[in-house]
Homo-oligomer: A and B are copies of this chain.
Amino acid sequence: MSSTLGVLFRISTWGESHGAGIGVVIDGCPPRVALRAEEINAELRRRRPGQSGLTTARKEDDCVEILSGVSEDGETLGTPIALLVRNTDARSSAYDEMQHTYRPSHADYTYDAKYGIRAWAGGGRASARETIGRVAAGAVAKAVLRVLCPQMDVLAWVEQVGDVRCEVSADRVTHEMVESNEVRTADDSTAARMRESIMSARNKGDSLGGTVRCVVRHVPAGLGDPVFDKLEATLAHAMLSIPACKGFEVGSGFGCSLLNGSAHNDAFYMEGDRVRTRTNNSGGIQGGITNGEDILLRLAFKPTATIMMEQETVTDAKQAATLCGKGRHDPCVLPRAVPIVEAMAWLVLVDHVLRQKALEH
């Protein structure tokens, strides 16, 4: 369904960039889970514009109001949780020209093609502000999993920006390391080079893409619902729904084509009474179901479409035109993509944990 995701832990997001606000309704959240606005706000701050010199200058506090579903004592009620973040710093005038002229590689033309109408200011529903609902709901999913699977953890970081690549092994990355630099990559020297690349692109009015890695640790074996809701399939669905995401890999990903089966297979062995694998080309998922090893994902994000350079395009009156971007935009979405990727992973996982609880007896 269009703006609804999940089978048991279902989120419905709404909101346009320059409308009253952005929000999400979470239906199916288990009761008696401690939940404070501050937990949600902490994640929203990681996604917020204006958090560093690398991001758009739009100033938004992005503080959440919990409208329902949580008791006065800060516990979930089992009823729908409605979360609201008001828009406060929308400046629509920067979009005047884009009211009739389509930005190349943005959603302006396709929204018109689909709906015959569009909220042109700020990109409307196709703005990155839409992801506030995802991040807020992801914080709730995380709070639930802290109760149901206390060890489980999701960690994402920027692997690549343009041609600058972070080579730190997934096993060694920590939240502290990632949050210690404004690019959200996994070592300081790479962070500095990535920052330089991004600032250089910004100065030219241009933009950059890159990749994000995501690892989920301490996952119970048995999550995932073959054949269509295999865990990697629902993860891919969730990740490809993030604005600007162009590619998805689990485990060995595209690299799998260069290995023979004998090299690619993950040999099983016993570690105490736990079944383990010697390698993890499977990325923690076999036959669509977790095997208890870390889930390993990799995502590609394209360069921001809105650039401050003149480009060939057309108008909604079907006339040739040129357009030079205005408004406040991230020259590179990667640093802010990190909390969004984590949120989508939490959301997919909580849904599968609940589905598995239903099956067990």
Q: Are B119 and A289 in contact (CB under 8 A)?
A: no
Task: For the complex formed, measure the closest distance between the CB of A360 and the CB atoms of chain B, giving whole angstroms.
Answer: 8
Which chain A residues (189-239) contact chain B, with CB distance < 8 Å?
Answer: 201, 206-211, 221-230, 232-239
Known: A32-B117, A241-B227. A300 touches B77 (CB 8 A): no
Q: Are B265 and A104 in contact (CB under 8 A)?
A: yes
Which chain A residues (239-270) contact chain B, with CB distance < 8 Å?
Answer: 239-241, 243, 245-262, 264-270
Q: Which of chain B's residues has its CB closest to A276's CB?
A: B314
Cβ 8 A contact of A68, one of B19, B25, B160, B312: B19
Which chain A residues (1-29) contact chain B, with CB distance < 8 Å?
Answer: 1-5, 7-8, 10, 12-16, 19-23, 25, 27-28
Task: For the complex formed, measure the closest distance between the CB of A116 and the CB atoms of chain B, giving whole angstroms.
Answer: 6
Identical chains bound together, number: 4
Q: Is A286 an interface residue (CB 8 A)?
A: yes
Q: Which of chain B's residues has its CB closest to A286's CB?
A: B110
Assembly CA distance A15 to B67 (angstroms): 7
Known: A7-B1, A15-B82. A256 touches B114 (CB 8 A): no
Q: Are B82 and A14 in contact (CB under 8 A)?
A: yes
Q: Are A77 and B117 in contact (CB under 8 A)?
A: yes
Assembly CA distance A343 to B102 (angstroms): 34
Q: How many residues of A contact B (CB 8 A)?
A: 155
Q: Are A254 and B80 in contact (CB under 8 A)?
A: no
Q: Which of chain B's residues has its CB closest to A102's CB?
A: B268
Cβ 8 A contact of A3, one of B76, B162, B224, B228: B228
Cβ 8 A contact of A270, one of B71, B289, B302, B314: B314
Task: For the complex formed, measure the closest distance between the CB of A284 and the CB atoms of chain B, giving whole angstroms.
Answer: 10
Q: Are B227 and A3 in contact (CB under 8 A)?
A: yes
Assembly CA distance A32 to B229 (angstroms): 21
- Provide the residues of chain B in CB contact with A255, threshold 8 Å: 300
Task: For the complex formed, measure the closest distance between the CB of A127 and the CB atoms of chain B, giving whole angstroms.
Answer: 10
Q: Is A304 an interface residue (CB 8 A)?
A: yes
Q: Are B247 and A250 in contact (CB under 8 A)?
A: yes
Interface-forming stretch among A38-46, A51-59, A176-184, A350-358?
A350-358
Q: Are A2 and B227 in contact (CB under 8 A)?
A: yes
Q: Are B206 and A261 in contact (CB under 8 A)?
A: yes
Assembly CA distance A25 to B77 (angstroms): 19
Known: A25-B14, A79-B125, A260-B207. A1 touches B225 (CB 8 A): yes
7 A-B pairs with C-beta separation under 8 A: A4-B12, A28-B359, A78-B359, A233-B238, A233-B240, A240-B248, A257-B302
Known: A104-B277, A209-B258. 10 other contacts (CB 8 A): A1-B7, A3-B27, A12-B12, A16-B68, A32-B117, A105-B261, A106-B287, A207-B262, A241-B288, A248-B249
